[in-house]
A and B are shown apart, each in its own frame.
Chain A
Amino acid sequence: MMSALLPDSPGDASIPRTPSGFYPAESMPTPPDDELLIRRAFEADPSKGCDLLFRRYYKPLCNHAVRFVYDQAMAQDIVADIFQSIWHKRIYERITFSYRAYLYRAVRQNCLLYLQREARRTVSVDQLPDLSILTSTSGEHSPTEDIQFDELRRQVEAVINALSPAVRRVFLLSRFEGRKHQEIADELNISLKTVEAHITKALIQFRKVLLP
């Protein structure tokens, strides 16, 4: 619905340019009042604003998180935690750039933290990304970071695809579906030891990617 408003090809030469180099407002990729409703709601009643934000972005954010962590339950926890701190720490007051950008970036950062912890790497205080920059007015915070996250997502996917079919099946049942090892063993008619071996194998591959 929203995409219908958008030009499929903003690069079209027929669109006139403003002196600043940007496209005029009517051809901007995102409608200017895209998030205005939510912003107004936050001004009137923060709780209502949180409500709207949650209803609008919870599902796609979970979807995005699961591409990194491959664990449905963990993905939902990560997203829920972000929304909780938006309310509790009054982050909604400081998001001036874009709620969407903030949410997606926060999800990515927290997924990365989770993955690093999975790979048994302690994250020191200094290494922690400073998420406060996400709320700043400028969208020009390290663009390379966004790229790196896409790269990480690609690597995670590549690891999953490179697993042998048996290992992948066990791994996805365990992590993505959150099943117990014994349940997987019963369902696939294999021994508990095999299940554990498969998961270990998969995790070793992940560690290689995450700890270069």
Chain B
Amino acid sequence: MNEQPLPTKAAFFAYFAHHATPLERQLIENCLHTVQGTKAYFFYLDEWERQHPQFHPDLDSAHDRYEQYRLATPPLTSRQPIVSEPAQPVQEPPPYPWHRLGRLSGGWSAVAASVLLLLSLWLSADWWYYKTLTNDYQQIRTVTLPDGSAVVLGAHSSLRYARYGFGVGTRRVLLTGEAQFKVTHPPDSKLFSVQTPNGTQVEVLGTVFVVNSRRNKTRVMLQTGRVRMNIPKVAQPVLLVPGDVVTVSAQGHLQKQRQTSLPAQVTWQNHQFFFQDTPLAEVANQLHDTFGITIIIPQTELMNRTVTGTFQADKADDLLEALTRMMQLRVEKSKTTYKLYQ
């Protein structure tokens, strides 16, 4: 039993302010070994904190939130002894859940079974977490997300979003291919962000825009509103205003242009193609992306010839026919590929 006298209030206060002498500190450390000393320690700590405020939290609003929480969340009914810690608000999920599981259940078979269950859950986690919509070639469809945002998903593209709880937290979707987004803004709207395979992230600040993420490039065209792009290799986010077209290359290089005739750029939804001094090689890429056909252009100078115009085409053949007539080309068609000659 500790026979030493309890430290004085002044000693405690000096200790809390880090001004205590080594002797006082020793005294306080000793007193923490006793029930009375511990009570005194926290009593004075509380008093000291009340006398030395660092800031003034809003008690009333915090209190209201706590009251609402109590109304919404009844206490747990189980009267088991505590297994977990009383509060771990900022705790990350334990890195090895089975570690704890094994301790509780005992027995290797149970561990093995749990591991198997976890493994299968983990393997199918994608399915549980995400809903994936995939379009075939030539297919275009309009999707309404759970939050009411409309997405026009282009041909040969896929969109992934959280199956459950979309709109709780960030409204994040993953896009491969091309799509136009019309984002809604409910009163409590959360950030809407589109991620593409090369790591680019488009954050929506209110808006209609088109994202194209083919060939590991990402191209964003903004029609109305504002969006912010976070690009892995560019430190600062890029802000887009209507009319901007930003292209992020596979190497992470950034190109920003202003399109004067923007509406035409986004007409792919109506099965229209818009080209403006577009090299034939790029046209071939777009045909591949949209219709899944392979176009081979053996002559380099032909590859670099440019096309300008708007084409209506529901099928690849329609567009190719128009192109060949206009540019006086020759097409050699095999089962899977088209070869273009001058």
Q: Which of A's residues lie within 8 Å of B, judged by CB?
A: 2-3, 6, 8-11, 20-23, 28-30, 34, 46-47, 50-51, 54-55, 57-64, 66-67, 72, 74-78, 80-91, 94, 97-98, 100-101, 104, 106, 109-110, 113-114, 117, 122-125, 128-132, 134-135, 138-140, 143-144, 146-147, 150, 154, 157, 176, 192
Known interface pairs A84-B66, A140-B33. Does A125 touch B89 (Cβ–Cβ under 8 Å)? no
In contact, A67 and B15 (Cβ under 8 angstroms):
no
- Specify the chain B residue showing the minimal Cβ separation from A132: B82
Binds A, one of B40-48, B168-176, B317-325: B40-48
Kindly state the separation between the CA atoms of A125 and B66 in the bound complex, as whole angstroms. Answer: 28
Contact of A122 among B90, B92, B99 (CB under 8 A): B92
> A55 — which chain B residues lie within 8 A by C-beta?
59, 63
Contact A29 B40 (CB under 8 A): yes
Contact status of A81 and B89, CB under 8 A, knowing A11-B7, A58-B63:
yes
B29 at the binding interface (Cβ < 8 Å): yes
A139-B35, A147-B29 known; A91 vs B55 contact (CB < 8 Å): no
Whether, in the assembled complex, B10 has its beta carbon less than 8 Å from a beta carbon of chain A, the answer is yes
Q: Are A87 and B29 in contact (CB under 8 A)?
A: no
Q: Can you list 27 A-B pairs with a CB-CB distance of less than 8 A?
A: A10-B5, A21-B1, A22-B36, A29-B39, A58-B57, A59-B56, A59-B57, A62-B55, A72-B55, A77-B89, A80-B65, A84-B73, A87-B69, A88-B73, A91-B82, A94-B82, A98-B42, A100-B43, A106-B86, A114-B90, A117-B92, A122-B92, A125-B99, A131-B87, A139-B37, A140-B33, A147-B28
Taking CB atoms, residues of chain B closer than 8 Å to A54 are 62-63, 66
Number of interface residues of B (CB under 8 A): 66
What B residues does A76 contact at CB under 8 A?
Answer: 57, 62
Q: For B32, list chain A residues within 8 Å (CB).
A: 143, 146-147
